[in-house]
Structure 1
Amino acid sequence: MTRSVDLNADMGESVGPWNMGDDTALLDVVTSANIACGFHAGDWNVMAATMRAAHQRGVGIGAHPGFADLQGFGRQRMHVPRESLGNMVRYQMGAAIGMARANGAHVRHLKLHGALANMAAEDHDLALACYEAALSVDPDITIMVLAGTAQQAAVADLRCNAACEIFADRAYNDDATLVDRSLPGSVIHDAAEAASRIVEMVTAGAIIAQSGRRIDTRIDTICLHGDTPAAVDIARQVRAGLKDSGVTLARFQGAPI
C-alpha cells in the first residue's frame, strides 16, 4: 500500500475577467499545482498570481501545456507536426519557468493537458515527442504521466524522473485511459464517491476501471480538475479520506520508472 501520496490540481485557468475555479481554496488543500501556460487557458497575469500563491503555500509548481485551443479549453484533438508539437511544449514550458523564477519559485514538473494528454496516453511516439521537448529545456524536470498508459511507457524509455498519476474525478477504461467526457459517468461530481474510490485505488495500488477491472500501477500523485464546481469539496474529502486511511499527503519526489 502507498503510505505517502501527492494531491495535485489543474489551475491557473482563468483568462482576464473570466474566472475559472477557486484556485485559492484549492491551494490550501493540494500539494502540487499544474498551472496553465496560456494556450488552452490562463494568461500572463493569472499565471503570475497563481504561481506566487502556490509558492507562498509551499505547493509544488508544474507547467501544464496544451493545444492552442482557448475556445475548446484544450479538449479538441488537433494533429500537429511533431517538430511543431515539440516547440509548442518548449514555448509553454519556457513561459512557466520564466514566470516562476520571477516570483522566486521554480517549476518542478510538467503535465500535459486535455486532448494533448489523452492523445499521448494512446500514442507512445507522440508522448516521446512531448517529453523529449520538455527535457531539452530542463533535463531534471519530473514528467507527470497518466499511470498505466503510453505516457508511462514513454518516460520509462527516456529514464527520466516521473510521477505516476491517477484521477479522483474521472472514470477509467480497461486500458487505463480516461473515459471520454462525452459519455455518461465519465466525470465524477460526487465528492464522497471520489474520495471512496481514491482510497480504494491507493490502498490496492491499482487503477479501478469503470468495468471493475483492476490495473496494478505505481501511484505517486492524485489529480482533480480545478474547473469543476465540486473541485474544492472533492479535494477536501479526498485528503480527509486518505488521512483517515493512514496515507500521508506530501509533494512527490519524482523517480525513474
Structure 2
Amino acid sequence: MLIDLNADLGESFGVYRLGDDEALLDIVTSANLACGFHAGDPLTIRRACAAAVDRGVAIGAQVSYRDLAGFGRREMEVPPEELCAEILYQIAAVDGIARAMGGRVSYVKPHGALYNRVCRDPGQAEALVAAVVDYDARLPVLTLPHSAVHRVAAEAQVTTVTEAFADRAYTSGGALVPRGRPGAVVTDPAEVAARAVRMAAEGVVVAEDGSEVAVGARSICVHGDTPGAVALARAVRDALTGAGVTVMAFT
C-alpha cells in the first residue's frame, strides 16, 4: 500500500515566520509551496525549493487567490480569464525557482478558498485546469474526491490525484468543515495519526456527525500552520509506517 504525505510549506513572508519548513521537509514526501499570492516571498520560495530538492521531496505549486491579507482563505470573485492567468503566473514562478535549484514543480494544488471553490464550481475549476494545460498538461492536480476538478480535468486530459486531510474535520457530505466552526482543525497527534491510518488503510474518515465518509486518497495532507504541525506530521508518518503503509510521493 502506497500513500503520499504532503504539507503546505513556504508560507513565511518577509519578517513573518510561519511553520518550520526544514523540519517538515524531513518528514513529508511532497511539499505544497506557496507561490507568493497567499503567502511566501522569493527568498522563502528559493530556500524551500532548495531544501526540498536536497531531501528528494516532490515540489508542488500551491496556487491561490491573490489575497496576502487574508492568507488566501477568503473566497473571491475573479473572472475566469484573469484567474487562469494568475494561476499560470504562480506555477511559472515557483517552477522557475525550483528548476534553478535543481528540481521542478511536479504537481499543482489549489490553496484555501480557491481549493474549496474549485471543488464545487466548474467555472473556476476550468480556469485552474486551463492554466495547468497552458503551462504543462502533464502536471497532476491534487483535489478532494468528487470534486468538480476531476470531471473538468478529465475532459482536458489532465490527471487528478485524490487527497484527504488528516488534521481537518469533514462534513457528512465529504467537504471540509469551514475553519470558522469549532473543531474544524484537529490538533491532537494521536487522533490525527489514527485518522491518517484509516484514510490510507480503509479509505474512510469519520465526519463531524459520526458518519463515515469515503475518501479513497492517494495523498494525505497535514497543514504546516496547524499548531504542533511538526509533531503531527511525525506522528502521522510513524503511524502509517507502523501500519505497513509505504510513504512515498505520488509523482
Shorter-chain TM-score range: over 0.9
Quick one: which of 238, 244, 247 aligns to 1:246? 244
Q: Residues of 2 paired with 1:120 and 1:66: CA distance?
A: 11
1:39 aligns with 2:62: no
| 1:124 CA displacement | 2.3
Quick one: which of 165, 168, 173 aligns to 1:167? 165
| 1:123 CA displacement | 1.1
What secondary structure sits across from 1:201 in the alignment? helix
Map 1:222-237; keep pairs closer than 5 Å. 222-237=220-235
1:4 aligns with 2:5: no
Q: Deviations over 1:122-175 (max 9, x none)?
A: 212211221121121111111111223223333333332221110011011122
Question: If the length of structure 1 is used for normalisation, what is the TM-score?
Answer: 0.94
Question: If the length of structure 2 is used for normalisation, what is the TM-score?
Answer: 0.96
Structure 2 counterpart of 1:73, which letter? F
Q: Residues of 2 paired with 1:238 and 1:60: CA distance?
A: 18
What secondary structure sits across from 2:163 in the alignment? strand
Quick one: which of 50, 53, 56 aligns to 2:51? 53
Map 1:190-209; keep pairs closer than 5 Å. 190-209=188-207
Q: Deviations over 1:152-200 (max 9, x none)?
A: 3333333322211100110111222110001011001111111111112
Q: 1:211 to 1:151 in 2, by over 3 A?
A: farther
Q: Deviations over 1:226-249 (max 9, x none)?
A: 012211011000111111111110
Structure 2 counterpart of 1:32, which letter? S
For the 8 Å contact 1:148–1:215, the answer to whether it is kept is no
Map 1:119-198; keep pairs closer than 5 Å. 119-198=117-196
Structure 2 counterpart of 1:178, which letter? L
For the 8 Å contact 2:129–2:158, the answer to whether it is kept is no
For the 8 Å contact 1:97–1:107, the answer to whether it is kept is yes
Q: Residues of 1 paired with 2:165 and 2:141: CA distance?
A: 16
| 1:17 CA displacement | 1.5
Q: 1:76 to 1:96 in 2, by over 3 A?
A: same
Give 2:26's aligned residue: 28
| 1:8 CA displacement | 0.2
Map 1:67-146; keep pairs closer than 5 Å. 67-146=65-144
Structure 2 counterpart of 1:77, which letter? E
CA RMSD of aligned residues (A): 1.3
Q: Deviations over 1:83-133 (max 9, x none)?
A: 001001001011011111111111100000011111111212211221121
What fraction of aligned residue pairs are identical, expressed as a percent?
Answer: 45
Structure 2 counterpart of 1:79, which letter? E
What secondary structure sits across from 2:201 in the alignment? helix
Unaligned stretches of 5+ residues in structure 2: none
Q: Residues of 1 paired with 2:204 and 2:153: CA distance?
A: 19
| 1:20 CA displacement | 0.4
Q: Residues of 2 paired with 1:203 and 1:24: CA distance?
A: 28
